[in-house]
Amino acid sequence: MVNNDQLYKGLIWSAIDKFSIIGIQIVFEILMARILSPKEYGLMGMLLVVMSFTQVFIDSGFGSALIFKKDRTETDFSTAFYTSVFLGVIIYGLLFTLAPYISEFYKQNITLLIRAVGISIILNSISVIYRTRLTIIIDFKSQAKFSFFAVLLSGVIGLVLAYMGYGIWALIFQNILLAFFNMLFLFINLKWLPNLEFSKKSFLELFNYGSKLLYASIINSIYINFNSILLGKFYSTKSLGIYTKSFQFTIFPVTIFTGILQRVFFPYLVKFQDNYDGLYSHLNKYNKVIFIILLPIITLAVLFSNVLIPFVLSDQWSEMTKPFNILLIATLFYPLIVMNMNIFQVIGKTSRFLFVEILTKITGLAITLYCYRYGLVGICIGILTQFIIQYLITSYFVANSLKKSFYKTINIFLYFLLSVVIYLISNYILSTSEAFFLKVAIVFLFIAVSYGIIYQRLYGRQILNAYLMVKKKYKK
C-alpha cells in the first residue's frame, strides 16, 4: 500500500523526471527550430499523427490494469509484457504496409519516413511494462535518471544531424534514439526479465479492465490528432508545422506536467476506492494546485508571446503567436479533464470512463468539423472550446459518480474568469503610450498582487500557519 511519504517522494522525483525532460527538450526544440523550417516540422507533424495513433495499442490498458490490480503476480507481468511486444510487432508490420497509402492521403512523399520512425513503436512496446513496474512501487527516481540521459543523448545527436543538414531526418533519428535509449536504460538497470509463460486467465483479467481504457485511448487519439489530419490534408504543410510547434510548446508540456501528478496519484488514490469523500477531497486539492501553478504562468506568457516567440524561435515563426496563445489558454483545462477521467479508473468504473470519453470526443469532433473551415486559428479556438466543454461534462459525471454537488465541483472555474479580467487589465496597461519597461513593471506588480489575493483566498489559512511556524522557530 502506498503511504504519504512514498507519495511525496514520488511527486518530487516524478517532477524532477518530467521537468528535467521538459527543460532539455525545450532547449533542443528551440535550437532545432532555429535551424529547421515550419515546413519540415509540418512533415514531422504528419508522422507524429501516425505514431500517436499506433502507440495507443501498445499498452492496451494493461499498464493501468496492473496498477489497479492489488494481487498482481509475475505471471501477470509476463503476460502483459508479451502482449505488448506482440502488438508492437504487429502494428509496425501494418504501418510498414500502409505507409504508401498514408503518403498518398497527404500527397507527400513520406513512405520511407513513416517506415523509419515506426521502428520506435517496437522499442516502446518493450519499455511499457518496465515503466509500469517502477510506477507501481512509485520509483520515479530511477525513471528520472533513465529519461534524463535518454533525452539528452537523443537530443544532442538530433541537433548535430540538424546542423549537418539532415533536415527532417534529424527529427526522425531523434525520435527513434529517444525510444531506444529509454528501452536500453530500463532493461539494464531494472534487472528484470519476464518469465517464459503466458496465462490466458491473466490476459483476460487484465484485458477486462484495460480494454475499456484501450477503446477510450483510441477515441482520444483520433480526437487529438484530428486537427493535424485536417491541417495536413486541406491546408499547407507550413500551417501544420506552426500548429505542431504551438502544440509542442503549450499542450505537450502540460500533458507532461499532468503525467507527473497522474502517475503518482493513481496508485495512491487506489486505496480510496471505497472512500468517495476522500477521493472528492483529493480531487479538489488537485484542481487548486493546478490553478495555483498554471494561472500566472499562462497570463504572463500570453501577454508577452508576440515578443518572445520571434526572439526565441526567429522571425520565421512569428505567425505562431495567435495559435500559441489560444492553445496555451486551453491547457489550463487539460489537467482537470485528465484528473476527472482518472477518478473513473480509481473507482473501477471503466465503462463509465468509456461512455464519457465517447460523449466528450463526439462533441469535440463536431466542434472541430465546424471550426476547421476558418483555418489554423479557427481550429485552435475550437480546441479551447472543446476543452472547456469537456471539463464541464467530465465534472458533471464525476460529481454524479461520487454523489457530490456538480456546482461545488466546478466552483474553481471562478478563478479562471478572474484570470481573464487580470489579463484584460494587464493588456490595457501594455497598450498605453507609457515607456515600455515602466509598463512591464506595472503589469508584473499588478499580476503579483492579483494572484497573491487569489492564493490567499485558496490557501490563506495554510500560508498563515506556515508563517507562524517559521516566526516561532526564528524566535527560538
Which pLDDT band holds residue 317 (cuts at 50, 70, 90)? confident
Cell reading at 130: 518496465
Q: Please, are residues 176 and 118 in contact by the beta-carbon 8 Å criterion?
A: no
All residues at 6 or more sequence positions from 259 whose CB lies less than 8 Å from its CB, including other chains: 14, 18
CA dihedral 12→191→202→207, nearest 10 degrees, is 50
Q: Across all residues in the chain, what is the average pLDDT? A: 79
pLDDT for 326 equals: 93
Q: By the 8 A CB rule, do 68 and 262 touch?
A: no
Q: What is the model's pTM?
A: 0.68
Reply yes or no on whether the pLDDT at 475 is more than 70. no
- CA distances to 268, 276, 396 from 402, in Å: 18, 6, 10
* Contact residues for 438 (Cβ-Cβ < 8 A; gap 6+): none
What is the per-residue pLDDT across 366-377, written as a single tens digit (0 to 9) for each?
Answer: 888 888 888 888
What confidence score (pLDDT) does residue 35 get?
76
Quote the radius of gyration of the chain (alpha carbons, Å): 23
CA torsion, points 26, 32, 36, 38, in degrees to nearest 10? 0
- Whether 1 shows a pLDDT value over 50: the answer reads no
- Quote the percentage of the chain above a pLDDT of 70: 83
pLDDT > 80? residue 329: yes
Pairwise pLDDT comparison (46 vs 73), residue with the higher score: 73
Closest CA to 98 of 81, 121, 124: 121
As a whole-number percent, the residues of the chain with pLDDT over 90 amount to 6
CB atoms within 10 A of CB 338: 18
Percent of the chain that is helix, strand, coil (3-state, to 5)? 90, 0, 10
Q: Cα–Cα distance between 461 and 469 in angstroms, integer?
A: 12
For 113-158, how does the pLDDT look when each residue is reduced to its tens digit (9 = 90+)?
889 988 988 888 888 888 888 777 666 666 677 777 888 898 899 8
Alpha-carbon distance of 129 to 84, in angstroms, equals 8
* 250 vs 222, more confident: 250
What's the Cα-to-Cα distance from 367 to each of 230, 340, 382, 473, rounded to whole Å? 13, 21, 6, 56
Q: How many residues in total does the chain contain?
A: 476
Higher pLDDT, 274 or 472: 274
- Residue 195 confidence (pLDDT) above 50: yes
* End-to-end Cα spacing for the chain: 39
Reported as a single tens digit per residue, the pLDDT across 399-434 is 888 888 888 888 777 888 888 898 899 888 888 766
Selected residue with higher pLDDT from 271 and 245:
245
Give the pLDDT of residue 324. Answer: 92
